[in-house]
């Protein structure tokens, strides 16, 4: 019953759902995380087309050339040198997830929390683990640890091998925005179950895939998303990659930090 009421409340948007434009509560994803883990780095969807599906999101770029942040409709490319570039909108992405960010929840995050603490706190504030959440945290961070990935050449190595040599960046006393998603457990193989967060500093100079942080103070906005749309690549690589294998262990090694210094 509650579900129906929620849908009825979004009726205006649902009316437009059959059109090509973005829907109100939709995660739009390009390719699958397992294809990326297997080394399918050949871009398929141009950024300008991805932009039509959302103004907020994360992913990577053609040839795995850095981490993607899409924030307020602008793409940022955090390359392996730790600097932030403005990508050509004709460039393509091999993997990304975006949405039209229209948060319905606003919170002050408990001051002083670290990443694990913020995630646990978000789990209490947005308890439905079976829907997607887009998450935006504006804050100042005592520490922010990120990584990026260098561009790859054929034959593409698996992401696990690339991540083993990834550059890690330790930022201190930095203001900025955390951008990302919490995905339900049933997306295993397709996206990252749980939290996947990227960072962009307020001055637009630094960022990357978030490995950990300590917050000073901040606010969180959450957009709960109940529709999931995938665009699968038409590339030769995607046609031949083995997606029968369980790559959850590889994913843990790639997305999280292996060991603290
Ligand atoms: Zn990432």
Q: For residue 128, report the distance from its CA to the centre of ligand 1, in Å.
A: 23
Strand partners, 153: none
Question: 23 alpha carbon to ligand 1 midpoint, in Å?
Answer: 24
Tokens in use for 174? Answer: 């930095």
CA of 50 relative to ligand 1 center, distance in Å: 17
* Cβ-based neighbour number of residue 153 at 10 Å: 8
pLDDT for 9 equals: 37
Q: Can you give the pTM of this predicted structure?
A: 0.90
Q: Find the Cα–Cα–Cα–Cα dihedral 134, 12, 10, 107, rounded to 10°.
A: 50
Ligand 1 centroid distance, CA of 136 (Å): 15
Query: What are residue 67's DSSP bridge partners?
Result: 60, 78
pLDDT given for residue 255 in this prediction = 84
Report all structural domains of the chain as residue ranges with CATH numbers, in order of start. 23-233 (3.30.1330.80)
Q: How does pLDDT run along the chain (261 residues), one tens digit per residue?
A: 444 433 333 333 443 444 555 556 999 999 999 999 999 999 999 999 999 999 999 999 999 999 999 999 999 999 999 999 999 999 999 999 999 999 999 999 999 999 999 999 999 999 999 999 999 999 999 999 999 999 999 999 999 999 999 999 999 999 999 999 999 999 999 999 999 999 999 999 999 999 999 999 999 999 999 999 999 999 999 999 999 999 999 998 888 875 443
Cα-to-centroid distance, 255 and ligand 1 (Å): 7
**How many Å lie between the centroid of ligand 1 and the Cα of residue 161?**
15
Q: In which element (H, E) is residue 84 found?
A: strand 84-85
Please name which of 103, 81, 109, 102 lies closest in space to residue 205, comparing C-alpha atoms: 81
In the reported structure, the alpha carbon of residue 110 is separated from the centroid of ligand 1 by a whole-number distance in angstroms of 24
- The whole-number pLDDT of residue 256 equals 81
Give the pLDDT confidence score for residue 18 in this predicted structure: 46
The Å distance, Cα 198 to ligand 1 centre, comes to: 6
Which residues contact residue 251 at a Cβ distance below 8 angstroms, ignoring those fewer than 6 apart? 33, 37, 192
In whole angstroms, how far apart are CA 29 and each of 17, 113, 234?
Answer: 16, 30, 14
d(CA 194, CA 190): 12
Pure H helices in the chain: 2-9, 11-14, 33-37, 47-51, 115-125, 159-163, 236-240, 248-255
């Amino acid at each position: 019953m509650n579900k129906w009421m929620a849908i009825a409340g979004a009726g205006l948007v649902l009316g437009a759902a059959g059109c090509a434009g973005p829907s109100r509560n939709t995660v739009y994803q390009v390719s699958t995380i397992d294809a990326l883990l297997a080394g399918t780095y050949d871009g398929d969807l141009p950024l300008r087309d991805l932009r039509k599906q959302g103004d907020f999101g994360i992913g990577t770029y053609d040839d795995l050339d850095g981490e993607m942040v899409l924030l307020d409709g602008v793409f940022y490319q955090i390359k392996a040198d730790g600097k932030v570039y403005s990508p050509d909108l004709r460039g393509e992405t091999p993997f990304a997830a975006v949405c039209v960010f229209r948060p319905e929840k606003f919170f002050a995050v408990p001051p002083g929390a670290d990443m694990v603490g913020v995630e646990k706190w978000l789990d209490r504030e947005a308890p439905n683990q079976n829907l997607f959440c887009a998450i935006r945290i504006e804050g100042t961070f005592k520490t922010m640890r990120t990584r990026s990935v260098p561009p790859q050449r054929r034959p593409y190595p698996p992401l696990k091998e690339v991540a083993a040599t990834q550059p890690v960046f330790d930022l201190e006393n930095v203001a900025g925005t955390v951008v990302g998603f919490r995905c339900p457990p049933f997306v295993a193989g397709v996206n990252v179950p749980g939290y996947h967060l990227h960072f962009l500093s307020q001055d637009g100079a630094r960022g990357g895939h978030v490995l950990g942080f300590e917050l000073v103070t901040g606010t969180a906005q959450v957009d709960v998303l109940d529709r999931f749309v995938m665009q699968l690549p038409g590339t030769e690589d995607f046609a031949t990659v083995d997606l029968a294998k369980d790559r959850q262990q590889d994913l843990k090694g790639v997305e999280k930090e292996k060991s603290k210094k």
